[in-house]
């Protein structure tokens, strides 16, 4: 008897399943890892980005493979959670899948691999915690130096690696200026990174970059009379406004009908009296610096200049927010009833020339500890990459301050974890031994990639590292790659450190992404999301076209096939 055919999915549905589909997903994920040196990415708009930051590269690449997109997500999560190790986590996930691929091809059920990979990841994380060293008890001077070493390790592989000591000190100084408790009621993060501003000025060399102990921003748009204003104050009062101080004739916004032409002058005088009243109240408040998100016109600028008051209008939102938090000023929407409680203060205000730009600097702010890094460089792409590199270093220093446990870098921790798992695998009977060995071998991808990036023979260096870590020498666990001469060295003694949190999060996230890809046994491509010509149909009201044909600008009449 012939069984009737059951049509479950609509015509045009594409399904891929079985071993072939799983291997295809693994191949796609293996191809994603941003290995090697810096990458130059440019889009169809002509925007060029040069970076070796894993999260930045993954965001810029338009990855369409559904399984490979999971690696983009773990790079983003690593960046948001610890701020560094984004390349590490993607490379680890790709290598875990590469080691799992032969088992899948031989017919091993993916759940067996997932079970032992997760067990190996838990063991690796426990081992990291076991061999990590806390720097909590050090004196402030020692701790600052230790944090600098962590930042230098992060910057070693970056574009600014040639000046890593200079920038590492800048990052440590920036984090040390942050308030470690004042904003706990506003933010869950005590060391709030939003209080570190980054400004970029083209020109000069990297060493022309400097750190401002306070707030700095480019001179705002200015009107006539600006040059007559004073540019230096000590202990000034600061008034922050969300208000226009500009003469705007009411005839632009309203219609006025007059029966007596002589009344026209009274209306003009009223307009002038309104603006003068506002300006007098600003000066009477005692503020010497007046800032506003909205325009401060030429009349107000000249008025303030005549009275020895500095003003700046059309400030960017982020600059005004940082100034108000740092000085204690409260943004006002009116100038009525101003008092000292609504004004902020700082120790020194000055305007300074930086390259071709002029900057307004607020130093010694009492309300909150904040700082601004002014970066210099010869090319726009270079400065942008320097900012991304310093962001990674700042995040590392912040994590090291809050979780003061460090492990040796340079591939040392990865080789020690690999040795530990290989030793454990010998005690496991059955297939689990193979899977744990595969996980251990995958961990060696980090020192191998470091060798490749440094131009050395990875096979030779890895053999030396394996021998050293297996020698039983207590200090052997700290040996990693020496990128200067291609040998091996005690990276702990050489102060090549990284926070244990970075390695823990990288291993955990990479293992979870690997298990996610291995657990997929079928991919279904739903045709309902495509039009007759293969173009996507957008939601009603979008640009899907009338009737969902994917052409023209639709008016939201629904989707019909």
Give 76-111 as a 3 state SS string. HHHHHHCCCCHHHHHHHHHHHHHHHHHHHHCCCCHH
Any idea what the CATH number is for the domain that residue 177 is in? 3.30.260.10
Question: Which range has the worst mean pLDDT, 6-20, 101-115, 202-216?
Answer: 6-20
Question: Does the residue 2 lie in any domain?
Answer: no
Bigger pLDDT: 35 vs 455: 455
Question: Does the residue 114 lie in any domain?
Answer: yes
What does the pLDDT average to over 435-461? 88
How do 310-312 and 237-241 pair as beta strands? unpaired
Per-residue burial over 541-559, b = 16 or more CB atoms within 10 Å of its CB, e = otherwise = eeebbeebbbeeebeeeeb
Q: Find out whether 368 and 325 touch, Cβ atoms under 8 Å.
A: yes
Provide φ and ψ at 100, rounded to 5°.
-80, -20
Q: What is the pLDDT of residue 532?
A: 43
Q: Give yes or no: residues 189 and 242 share one domain.
A: no
Q: What is the pLDDT of residue 475?
A: 79
Token pair for residue 213?
Answer: 């102990």
Question: Does the residue 6 lie in any domain?
Answer: no
Question: Does the residue 152 lie in any domain?
Answer: yes
Distance CA 307, CA 228 (A): 10
Give the number of C-alpha atoms closer than 13 A to the C-alpha of residue 132, restricted to the C-beta side: 21
Beta bridge partners of 490: 479
Q: What is the pLDDT of residue 434?
A: 92
What does the pLDDT average to over 103-115? 88
Q: What is the pLDDT of residue 546?
A: 41
Q: What is the pLDDT of residue 432?
A: 87
Q: What's the predicted TM-score (pTM) here?
A: 0.68
Q: Give yes or no: residues 265 and 152 share one domain.
A: no
Question: Does the residue 398 lie in any domain?
Answer: yes
Q: What is the pLDDT of residue 191?
A: 63
Distances (CA, A) of 448 to 97, 180, 226, 238: 17, 39, 59, 56
Sheet holding 196-202, edge to edge: 196-202, 371-377, 210-212
Question: Does the residue 8 lie in any domain?
Answer: no
Q: Give yes or no: residues 209 and 226 share one domain.
A: no
Distances (CA, A) of 87 to 157, 333, 500: 11, 46, 16
Highest mean pLDDT among 155-164, 352-361, 409-418, 512-521: 409-418
Beta bridge partners of 522: 17
Which tens digits make up the pLDDT trace of 175-222?
887 755 433 333 334 566 777 888 888 888 888 888 888 888 888 777
Bigger pLDDT: 555 vs 145: 145
Distance CA 484, CA 174 (A): 29
Provide φ and ψ at 5, rounded to 5°.
-75, 130
Residue holding tokens 């640009």? 543
Q: Does residue 427 carry a pLDDT above 50?
A: yes
Q: Give yes or no: residues 74 and 156 share one domain.
A: no
Torsion of CA 104, 109, 114, 119, to 10 degrees: -110
Owning domain of residue 269: 220-351
What does the pLDDT average to over 42-66? 72
Distance CA 88, CA 251 (A): 63
Confidence of residue 486 (pLDDT cuts 50, 70, 90): confident
Confidence of residue 420 (pLDDT cuts 50, 70, 90): very high
Which tens digits make up the pLDDT trace of 347-382?
888 888 888 888 888 888 776 678 888 888 877 778
Q: What is the pLDDT of residue 189?
A: 46
- SS3 of 329-386: CCCECCCCCCCHHHCEECCEEEEEEECCEEEEEEECCCCCCCEEEEEEECCHHHHHHH
Structural domains counted in the chain: 4
What does the pLDDT average to over 114-135? 89
Q: Find out whether 64 and 86 touch, Cβ atoms under 8 Å.
A: no
Q: Does residue 439 carry a pLDDT above 90?
A: yes
Question: Does the residue 357 lie in any domain?
Answer: no
Beta bridge partners of 218: 359
Any idea what the CATH number is for the domain that residue 85 is in? 1.10.560.10
Q: What is the pLDDT of residue 126?
A: 92
Distance CA 258, CA 222 (A): 36
Token pair for residue 544?
Answer: 């899907």
Distance CA 346, CA 355 (A): 25
Give the number of C-alpha atoms closer than 13 A to the C-alpha of residue 122, restricted to the C-beta side: 6
Beta bridge partners of 524: 15
Q: What is the pLDDT of residue 370?
A: 80
Any idea what the CATH number is for the domain that residue 343 is in? 3.50.7.10
Q: Does residue 226 carry a pLDDT above 60?
A: yes
Residue holding tokens 């700046």? 312
Nearest CA among 75, 184, 120, 131 for reference residue 479 = 131
Residue holding tokens 């010509």? 533
Highest mean pLDDT among 192-196, 366-370, 387-391, 543-547: 387-391
DSSP 6: P
- Element holding 20 (H helix, E strand): helix 18-30
Residue holding tokens 């990693």? 480
Residues 6+ apart with CB under 8 A from 232: 348, 349, 350, 351
Q: Is the dihedral of CA 107, 112, 114, 116 positive or negative?
A: negative
Q: Is the dihedral of CA 83, 85, 90, 92 positive or negative?
A: negative
Q: Give yes or no: residues 384 and 417 share one domain.
A: no
Q: Give yes or no: residues 224 and 345 share one domain.
A: yes
Q: Give yes or no: residues 345 and 455 share one domain.
A: no
Which tens digits make up the pLDDT trace of 304-314?
888 888 888 88
Q: Give yes or no: residues 158 and 244 share one domain.
A: no
What does the pLDDT average to over 536-550? 43
Q: Give yes or no: residues 102 and 201 share one domain.
A: no
The number of angstroms, rounded, from the C-alpha of 437 to the middle of its chain's C-alpha atoms is: 35
Q: Find out whether 240 and 329 touch, Cβ atoms under 8 Å.
A: yes
Bigger pLDDT: 334 vs 141: 334
| Region for residue 515 given its phi and psi (left: phi exceeds 0; alpha: psi -120 to 50; beta: otherwise) | alpha
Percent of the chain predicted with pLDDT > 70: 81
Q: What is the pLDDT of residue 2?
A: 58
Q: Give yes or no: residues 446 and 548 share one domain.
A: no
Helices marked H in 134-263: 140-155, 164-177
Distance CA 394, CA 175 (A): 7
Token pair for residue 314?
Answer: 């059309």
Q: Report helix, strand or coil for 481.
A: strand
Confidence of residue 299 (pLDDT cuts 50, 70, 90): confident
What does the pLDDT average to over 297-306? 86
Q: Give yes or no: residues 327 and 239 share one domain.
A: yes
Token pair for residue 111?
Answer: 């759940």
Question: Which range has the worst mean pLDDT, 9-18, 116-125, 165-174, 240-249?
Answer: 9-18
Q: What is the pLDDT of residue 527?
A: 62
Question: Does the residue 344 lie in any domain?
Answer: yes
What does the pLDDT average to over 317-341? 85
Residue holding tokens 């000066």? 283
Q: Give yes or no: residues 432 and 396 share one domain.
A: no
What does the pLDDT average to over 502-528? 81
Q: What is the mean pLDDT of the chain?
A: 78
How do 214-218 and 232-234 pair as beta strands? unpaired
Nearest CA among 310, 309, 288 for reference residue 219 = 310
């Amino acid at each position: 008897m012939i069984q009737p055919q059951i049509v479950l999915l609509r015509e045009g549905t594409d399904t891929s399943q079985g071993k072939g589909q799983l291997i295809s997903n693994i191949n796609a994920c293996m191809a994603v890892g941003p290995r090697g040196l810096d990458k130059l990415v440019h889009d169809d708009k002509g925007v060029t980005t040069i970076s070796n930051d894993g999260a930045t590269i993954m965001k810029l690449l338009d990855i369409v493979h559904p399984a490979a997109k999971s690696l983009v997500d773990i790079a983003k999560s690593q960046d948001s959670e610890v701020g560094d190790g984004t390349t590490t986590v993607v490379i680890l996930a790709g290598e875990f899948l590469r080691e799992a691929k032969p088992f899948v091809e031989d017919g091993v059920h993916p759940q067996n691999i997932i079970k032992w990979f997760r067990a190996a990841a838990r063991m690796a994380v426990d081992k990291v915690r076991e061999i990590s060293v806390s720097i909590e008890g050090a004196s402030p001077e020692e701790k600052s130096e230790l944090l600098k070493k962590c930042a230098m390790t992060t910057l070693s592989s970056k574009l600014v690696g040639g000046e890593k000591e200079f920038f590492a000190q800048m990052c440590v100084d920036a984090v040390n200026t942050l308030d470690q408790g004042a904003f706990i009621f506003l933010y869950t993060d005590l060391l709030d990174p939003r209080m570190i501003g980054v400004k970029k000025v083209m020109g000069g060399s990297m060493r022309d970059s400097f750190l401002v102990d306070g707030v700095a921003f480019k001179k705002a748009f200015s009107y006539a009379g600006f040059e007559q204003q004073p540019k230096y104050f000590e202990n000034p009062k600061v008034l922050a406004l969300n208000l226009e101080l500009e003469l705007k004739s009411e005839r632009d916004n309203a219609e006025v009908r007059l029966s007596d032409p002589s009344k026209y002058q009274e209306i003009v005088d009223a307009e002038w009296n309104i603006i003068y009243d506002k300006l007098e109240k600003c000066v009477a408040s005692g503020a010497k610096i007046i800032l506003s998100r909205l325009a401060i016109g030429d009349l107000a600028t000249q008025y303030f200049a005549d009275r020895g008051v500095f003003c700046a209008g059309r400030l960017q939102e982020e600059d005004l927010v940082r100034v108000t938090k740092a000085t204690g000023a409260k943004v006002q929407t009116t100038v009525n009833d101003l008092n000292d409680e609504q004004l902020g203060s700082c120790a020194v205000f000055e305007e300074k020339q930086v390259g071709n730009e002029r900057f307004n600097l607020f130093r010694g702010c009492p309300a909150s500890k904040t700082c601004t890094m002014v970066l210099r460089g010869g090319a726009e792409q270079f400065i942008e990459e320097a900012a991304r590199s310093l962001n990674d270093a700042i995040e590392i220093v912040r994590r090291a301050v809050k979780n003061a446990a460090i492990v040796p870098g340079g591939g040392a921790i990865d080789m020690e974890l690999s040795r530990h798992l290989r030793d454990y695998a010998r005690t496991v009977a059955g297939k689990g031994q193979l899977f744990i060995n595969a996980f251990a071998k995958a961990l060696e991808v980090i020192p191998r990639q470091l060798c490749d990036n440094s131009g050395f023979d990875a096979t030779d260096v890895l053999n030396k590292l394996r021998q050293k870590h297996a020698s039983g020498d207590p200090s052997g666990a700290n040996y990693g790659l020496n990128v200067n001469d291609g040998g091996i060295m005690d990276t702990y003694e050489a102060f090549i450190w990284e926070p244990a949190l970075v390695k823990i999060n990288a291993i955990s996230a990479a293992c979870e992404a690997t298990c996610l890809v291995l657990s997929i046994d079928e991919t279904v491509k739903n045709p309902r999301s495509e039009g007759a010509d293969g173009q996507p149909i957008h939601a009603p009201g979008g640009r899907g076209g009338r009737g969902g044909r994917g052409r023209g600008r639709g008016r939201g009449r629904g989707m019909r096939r």
